[in-house]
Amino acid sequence: MSAAEASEAAVHTGRCLCGAVRFEARGELRPVIYCHCESCRRQSGHFFACTSVTDDRLTVFDEGGTLAWFSATPAAERGFCRTCGSALFWKPAEGARISIEAGSFDEPSGLVASHHIFVGEKGSYYEITDGLPQFVGDDE
C-alpha cells in the first residue's frame, strides 16, 4: 500500500470527556487551524483548534443521545456533549465539511497545525508566537 493509500485508509478515533459521544474520521485530516473568533473563545474559554473532514467521512456514535447542537450565529452550528459539555464539532450552514476539535482525538493524533484565523478578535491576554501564518479574518 502506498503512503497516499494508507492516508486515505486511516481511521482516526475520538470522544468527548465522558465518552458518551464517540466518533471515527476516515481518511486524511486537514491540518489544524486555530480560530480566535469571539464565538470560539466564548464557547471554549480560549481559542479553538480544529481539523476537518467531509461529512461522508465522519461517523458519530451517540447511543445515549447526548450530542446537542447550538447555533451561535446563522453561519454555523456547534456540536457538544450535553452530559460533560465537551465541544466537539463545528458545522457551517453551507458546505459538506465538518470541523472536529483537535483535542477530542485519541492519541497519537498525527495532527499538525497550519495557521491562525480571526486573529483580529483574539483575546488581549495572550500573544501568538508560534510563527504560523496569521489571518485577520478567515483563511481565504
Query: Exposed (0-12), middle (13-18) or buried (19+): which is 82, by Cβ within 10 Å?
Result: middle
CATH among 3.90.1590.10, 3.40.50.300, 2.102.10.10, 1.10.760.10 for 3-121:
3.90.1590.10
Q: How far apart are CA 136 and CA 110, in angstroms?
A: 27
Give the separation between CA 8 and CA 57, rounded to whole angstroms. Answer: 10
Reading phi first (left if > 0) and then psi (alpha if -120 to 50, else beta), residue 85 is in left
pTM of the model: 0.90
**What is the full per-residue pLDDT of the chain (140 aa) written as tens digits?**
555 555 667 999 999 999 999 999 999 999 999 999 998 899 888 999 999 999 999 999 998 999 999 998 899 999 999 999 999 999 999 999 999 999 999 999 999 999 999 999 999 999 999 999 999 988 65
Instruction: Classify residue 95 by its DSSP letter.
Output: S
